[in-house]
Amino acid sequence: MNPGPRETGPSPISVDTDHIGAELPDRSRTMNLMYEDLARAQIAERLEEAARMRRINRIRAARRLARRAERASLRARRALALASLPQ
């Protein structure tokens, strides 16, 4: 079934193609810049989180080493006290 011949009159909706053609690349560029900014913000957030986790892990390790040193010190004191006792 063939459609009938088309009318060549003006379309019922008038569109200013010059305006749209000039605006689309700028809008596209703006969207690209927005996505780049979002990606940069996400990367910066991830880097900050990684740095925070490294600080937390260093603090935990330092506390663990401090506890170990304290236990070793107590063992040494006990050993010295036992060695100093008169027999």
Domain ranges of the chain: 20-87
Per residue in 7-63, pLDDT (tens digit) is: 555 555 655 555 554 555 788 888 889 999 999 999 999 999 999 999 999 999 999
Q: How far apart are CA 56 and CA 50, in angstroms?
A: 10
- Distance CA(46)–CA(38), nearest Å, equals 12
Q: CA 29, CA 34: separation in Å to the nearest integer?
A: 9
- Identify the pLDDT of residue 28: 87
**Above 60 in pLDDT, residue 86?**
yes
Average pLDDT in the 66-87 region?
93
